[in-house]
Homo-oligomer: A and B are copies of this chain.
Amino acid sequence: MFESAEVGHAIDKKAFRKEQATLRERLLDVQRQLYDQASFPVLLLISGVDGAGKSETLAKLYEWMDARYLSTLAFTAPTDEERERPHMWRYWRALPPHGRIGAFAGSWYSTPIGQRIESEISRVELDRRLDEINRFEAMLVNEGALLLKFWLHLTRSGQRSRLRKLEGDPLTAWRVTKTSWERTRTYDALLDAAGHVLRLTNTSWAPWNIVDGTDDNYRYLRVGRELLASLERRLGEKRVRKRVFAPPVAPVSDDRTVLSALDMRSLAGKRYESQLAKWQGRLAELVRHKAFARRSLVLAFEGMDAAGKGGAIRRITEALDPRQFQVVPIAAPSDDERAHPYLWRFWRQLPRWSHVTIFDRSWYGRVLVERIERFCAEADWLRAYAEINDFEHELVSAGTIVMKFWLQIDREEQLRRFKQRQKVAHKRFKITPEDWRNRDKWRAYQKAAVDMIDRTSTGRAPWVIVPANDKNFARVMVARELVKHLERALRL
């Protein structure tokens, strides 16, 4: 794996200066184009052996490029806000927007490699993390990111002599820490772990560039050239190719689906009051229970217009402390949100420990409205199922409890509610022409919902299909299912 980076590369001062001049000019050009187009972000990962010149390479890029559109994203020990979210949260919040370059000094590779060297995680656990990383990077690339990964390599003796050299210069001595020397003692372990990691994450969509770090000039030019070539190639492409990582959805064989087969039930007013009070009371205790102190809860509500999402959400929030929950309505994204992968706006809203975030419409918009209205390409919504499963899996792995509710009403019931709304409270609930248009696409939405439920209902993050023609029944069912799932998840 590392052999090619050990054959001894070097570039002399004169040749370096000459190439540097044109390289710098061209890098500034492409950086400017990148910023003007603002159609994709660049993620630059610089990893490698200690002393192989990660910091120096980064500093060189700053010397060559425009620091205004280049950010270094450094990660040391997680802050307490980071510790209370899934471990990828800190990277999500740092993702550069379209048009910018984010250089990751320390990345999602640092922790698993470090933990493997210290034997804190097993080989199996490492492989699980690498699979997660591959899927994360596939998502980034599919979302348009240009992802460049560099591994700066040194031989064992090369590492020792580089560290001595850095220590000798007062300007760089601070970079050599006790840990750096400790790492030389674990050189074999690092190479073993890194070799494995690089091999398993050397994907077609995000390959590694292994660079000999011994000679400064050679290293700088290798990284600079690769960055320039990748940017020029990408900026020159007329249209970004769309890859499909998922097979097309099988056509529904007949009209009998989990939705059409649903038994619409109802609940009389008196039983409704007592049942609702019962489940709300249990819920109020659960979210204040000490078992929830280091957990969090994410709920997603989906359903046709007027399905009763708002009413069901209100019955949940009544049992919660206003200081512990947030209801997030999902409408058109802001321009900050549009400049990031579509899941970014949901990552932003993840709750801290003992907090609850309730999404009124959610990331499932990708496979519902965006699919049907063709706001994204077929390839985009097809891959979204797997990305959404990954997202929820990461949440659940971090201790977050995730539930999704589909509130099912039939077409006649929707019409009845539209008319009622127009009559009763015409100012507040405007029925827009869009609502009527969505209604015309009833069958398409139902089909999309069935596909969604088939592909994203998992044991750890289940879909609850709620017969919602009767509001009483729906609200009690939502509260009851939430309580039951919470009790299971909190082992109470």
Q: Determine, out of A108-116, A207-215, A291-299, A318-326, the stretch whose residues face the partner at the interface.
A: A318-326
Q: Is A29 an interface residue (CB 8 A)?
A: yes
A67 touching B288, Cβ below 8 Å: no
Fill in one digit per residue for A67-93: 1 if any B CB lies within 8 Å of its CB, else 0.
Answer: 111111010000111000000000000
B322 touching A68, Cβ below 8 Å: no
With A79-B81, A335-B334 in contact, is A71–B171 under 8 Å at CB? no
Task: Provide 24 A-B residue pairs closer than 8 Å at the C-beta atoms, listed in order of the A residue.
Answer: A28-B425, A28-B428, A32-B427, A55-B321, A55-B322, A58-B323, A59-B321, A62-B314, A62-B322, A63-B314, A66-B310, A67-B327, A67-B358, A68-B310, A68-B327, A70-B327, A72-B325, A72-B326, A74-B323, A79-B80, A79-B81, A105-B323, A174-B288, A334-B336
Contact of A171 among B68, B69, B281 (CB under 8 A): B281
Complex formed: what's the CA distance from A69 to B284 in Å?
23
Complex formed: what's the CA distance from A242 to B360 in Å?
37
Q: Is A313 an interface residue (CB 8 A)?
A: yes
Residue of B nearest to A105 (CB): B323
Q: Is A317 an interface residue (CB 8 A)?
A: yes
B281 touching A322, Cβ below 8 Å: no
Tell me the count of chain A residues lying within 8 A, CB to CB, of chain B.
50
Complex formed: what's the CA distance from A58 to B321 in Å?
9
Fill in one digit per residue for A154-174: 1 if any B CB lies within 8 Å of its CB, else 0.
Answer: 000000000000000001001
Known A-B contacts: A55-B322, A58-B323, A72-B322. Give 15 more (CB < 8 A). Answer: A25-B425, A25-B428, A28-B428, A29-B427, A62-B314, A63-B314, A68-B328, A68-B360, A72-B325, A72-B326, A80-B80, A80-B81, A81-B81, A103-B322, A335-B335
A59 touching B103, Cβ below 8 Å: no
Q: Is A329 an interface residue (CB 8 A)?
A: yes
A72 touching B323, Cβ below 8 Å: yes
B322 touching A59, Cβ below 8 Å: yes
B71 touching A326, Cβ below 8 Å: yes
Fill in one digit per residue for A344-385: 1 if any B CB lies within 8 Å of its CB, else 0.
Answer: 000000000000001010000000000000000000000000
A322 touching B69, Cβ below 8 Å: no
Residue of B nearest to A317 (CB): B67
B314 touching A67, Cβ below 8 Å: yes
Residues of chain B contacted by A29 (CB below 8 angstroms): 427-428
Complex formed: what's the CA distance from A368 to B32 in Å?
26
